[in-house]
């Protein structure tokens, strides 16, 4: 606290101190007056004084070192949830974060998640630290869910996978990697997009611009505008794409349009960057909803893919996700993974609770794709 406290009270004129004396630094201890040189220069900005006849009172104003910190605006998404919690109306509805809910508005735990938890209880788990890159079994399972276990990029070990704190943490880790190894490169983001995308890249100091996506006149995809803006972007830009179930519009390119998008990105030497937060939600098929990512990988392109399991597994608080980087060779993938781990070490240290990573890993042993596919489709 930047302040000095001084309080005087006297009935004798000689003990009355003027403001001018105090500001000039004439008040000292041990001299019959009051102590400590307050300010040898132009005055102490923290001192205010008032004189009441024979009584001169001086008090300090407590000034915080954080006076320059302004109040941040509410988050446009989470702020709605905060307002919901503060509302006392019994008829209130939470229109903020999208989540499975019961009729009582409580989070709904999917049967597939209960199955995984029971498996872990039966087998027993410890609390050992995870590796920097996360649980190896989880990383294997999540990459295989995204690309397919028999995909050449998996077989040839060309995917660098590091566990992240859901989609947000995975995107942030990738953004830090871009800022470090692709300085000056910009990211193109759809207009509109998920509310946190811009915050993530701003925080990582990665420049971004927008490409046209939603056409309010047709209430559909502005495909020509999208293609035009991707073509106009500087060569080597990162193009952020929603793998499926575009947030917030829900409008996805057709398979034919995805082909054209990949053509333009490849011609311009751009780097595709997918955000996959809703695999299984768009079509009810985990494989169909990963087709856009698999198309780009099949064309031999290097690309980034962030994954989240908040939605399709209903693991909201557990923060389960991953960043995957498809590289041209196993050697490149190993080097990329080493640097992602290096960035993650001071940023994330350890990932989410071990048991939830193991939920996903255990499900991979139990034919989880069929179970999860039926669960997602049944909830749609």
Low-confidence ranges of the chain (pLDDT < 70): 1-61, 125, 348-380
- List pLDDT tens digits, range 224-256: 999 999 999 999 999 999 999 999 999 999 999
Are the C-beta atoms of 17 and 8 separated by less than 8 Å? Answer: yes
Angle among Cα 376, 112, 380 to the nearest 5 degrees reads 15
User: Rounded CA gap, 276 and 312, in Å?
Assistant: 11
Report which of 323, 318, 270 is spatially closest to residue 107, judged by C-alpha positions. Answer: 318
Look up 275 and say whether it is catalytic: yes
Quote the pTM value.
Answer: 0.76
Instruction: Kindly state the tokens that stand for 204.
Output: 């990582």
Look up 311 and say whether it is catalytic: yes
Cis peptide before 248 (omega within 30 of 0): yes
* 161 phi/psi in degrees, rounded to 5: -120, 130
Look up 370 and say whether it is catalytic: no
Residue 278 exposed, middle or buried by CB count within 10 Å (0-12, 13-18, 19+): buried
Q: Give CA separation, 196 vs 52, 271, 294, 354, in Å.
A: 57, 21, 25, 26
| Residue 70: predicted pLDDT | 94
Q: Which of 222, 229, 252, 311 is catalytic?
A: 311
Positive or negative: CA dihedral 47, 48, 51, 56: negative
- List pLDDT tens digits, range 58-113: 566 688 989 999 998 877 777 787 888 889 888 887 777 777 778 877 788 888 78
Q: Which of 275, 337, 368, 369 is catalytic?
A: 275
Give Cβ neighbours of residue 143 (< 8 Å, ≥ 6 apart).
154, 159, 161, 322, 324
Instruction: Kindly state the tokens that stand for 85.
Output: 């919690």
| Residue 177: predicted pLDDT | 97
- How many other β-carbons are positioned within 10 Å of the β-carbon of residue 176? 20
Residue 334 is classified by DSSP as H
User: Rounded CA gap, 172 and 199, in Å?
Assistant: 10
User: Rounded CA gap, 295 and 159, in Å?
Assistant: 15
């Amino acid at each position: 606290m930047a302040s000095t406290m001084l309080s005087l009270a006297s009935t004798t004129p000689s003990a009355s101190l003027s403001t001018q004396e105090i500001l000039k630094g004439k008040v000292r201890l041990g001299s019959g007056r009051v102590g400590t040189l307050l300010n040898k220069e132009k005055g102490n900005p923290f001192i205010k004084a008032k004189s009441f006849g024979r009584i001169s009172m001086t008090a300090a104003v407590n000034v915080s070192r954080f006076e320059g910190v302004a109040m941040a605006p509410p988050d446009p998404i989470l702020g709605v949830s905060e307002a919901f919690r503060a509302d006392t109306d019994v008829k209130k509805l939470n229109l903020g974060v999208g989540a499975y809910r019961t009729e009582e508005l409580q989070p709904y735990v999917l049967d597939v998640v209960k199955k995984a938890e029971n498996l872990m209880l039966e087998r027993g788990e410890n609390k050992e630290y995870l590796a920097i890159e996360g649980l190896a079994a989880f990383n294997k399972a999540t990459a295989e869910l995204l690309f397919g276990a028999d995909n050449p990029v998996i077989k040839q070990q060309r995917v660098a996978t590091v566990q992240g704190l859901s989609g947000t943490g995975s995107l942030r880790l990738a953004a830090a990697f871009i800022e470090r190894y692709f300085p000056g490169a910009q990211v193109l983001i759809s207009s509109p997009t998920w509310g946190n995308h811009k915050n993530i890249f701003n925080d990582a100091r990665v420049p971004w611009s927008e490409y046209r996506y939603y056409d309010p006149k047709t209430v559909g995809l502005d495909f020509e505008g999208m293609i035009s803006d991707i073509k106009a972007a500087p060569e080597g830009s990162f193009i952020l794409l929603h793998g499926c179930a575009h947030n917030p519009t829900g409008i996805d390119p057709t398979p034919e349009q995805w082909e054209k998008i990949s053509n333009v990105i490849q011609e311009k030497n751009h780097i595709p960057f997918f955000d996959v937060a809703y695999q299984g939600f768009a079509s009810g098929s985990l494989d169909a909803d990963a087709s856009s990512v698999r198309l780009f990988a099949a064309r031999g392109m290097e690309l980034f893919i962030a994954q989240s399991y908040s939605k399709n597994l209903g693991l909201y608080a557990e923060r389960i996700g991953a960043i995957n980087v498809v590289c041209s060779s196993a050697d490149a993938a190993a080097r990329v993974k080493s640097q992602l781990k290096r960035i993650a070490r001071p940023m994330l240290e350890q990932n989410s609770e071990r048991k939830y990573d193991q939920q996903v890993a255990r499900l991979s042993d139990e034919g989880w794709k069929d179970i999860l596919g039926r669960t997602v489709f049944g909830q749609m």
